[in-house]
Structure 1
Amino acid sequence: MIFDYAPPGKTVSGTLFYLMLSPLSKTLEREEIRLSRRAEIEADRHAARAGDTYSVARALLLVGAASALFKDRVDDPLRRELLGSMTPPEPPLARMLKAASELFDTATLKEHIQKAWAAPDDEKSDHPPWPERLAALGYASPPTIEPVERTALLTLLPSETVAERVRYFDYEWTSRVADHLDR
């Protein structure tokens, strides 16, 4: 409870208190992760009870598939390209928008759902693995889901606004990376 009001690394008192408890820090960290994971599972179950279990499972699988897709198409290539780069590579937001459109394809979606499902449990993450979250909803394997028809971004904002914001973000990101590479 103390760390809710004084987070370690963000407040002096929280950091000092955390250091005083350093012999217990690993235990506290594991307990925090366990409680957070349990809260995620309960939130998923609550959402399923309040609505349609399949819709909740579909939303979870879309998030998992998008995460796997972005790791494959954006994060990993960008990390490789930045190592030893002399000029900024293609900006991440432009890459993400291209990758997001791949979720419209049934085969690509299915492939990345399987990658998300098979991903090893990151024990330091406060989110449970996808199989555990869907098991809490009654699914022993990923259900077949329909691909995305339209991204949330394009549903919420006019395409002109999206294009303008993407240009602005890409310019800012490219400028900062170029400045960093010049150092």
Structure 2
Amino acid sequence: MLLTACATKPNYDYDTNYDFNQLKQFSTFTPENTTDPLTAKRVETAITAVLVTKGFAETQENPQFKVTYAFKVEDKPKNSGVSIGLGTGSWGSSGGVSLGTSVSVPVGSNTAKIQTIQINIIDTSNNRLIWRGSDKFNFDNGGDEKAEETQKTVATILALFPPQK
């Protein structure tokens, strides 16, 4: 099991007084000083693909909104532990009580990684945040699986943009 997606619901918030129907063109803004250029490129490529699919046009000249993003990776202990079970039963005219234990031991590393992605939509006319969404997923290794989960997570976040009032 190289990669397991979290069953989370993305978080989002937005300016309730903003008219999102006016937005047609966007540009993306790459974070400076990133320590993970592979993930940065994956996130940015996914953002552009999702927004273009939604009918927005990417442009560097006079966009109505810009998209910034941030991401972080945290260690998460893998699930392990001890459980105790107690049961009763009968067989014929006899009865009995049973007590058992179970120990769960993670195979391989004792931590997993959690990738959190946050996407910000900023009105370029006044440089004001108008929408923000975030979500996360678990992974053990990078490569194709992490790239695919990054794309899915960005699509899940941006499924909530623009907000439907």
TM-score range, shorter chain: under 0.3
TM-score by length of 2: 0.23
More helix by share: 1
TM-score by length of 1: 0.21
More strand by share: 2
Q: Which has the higher contact order (CA 8 A, sep 6+)?
A: 2
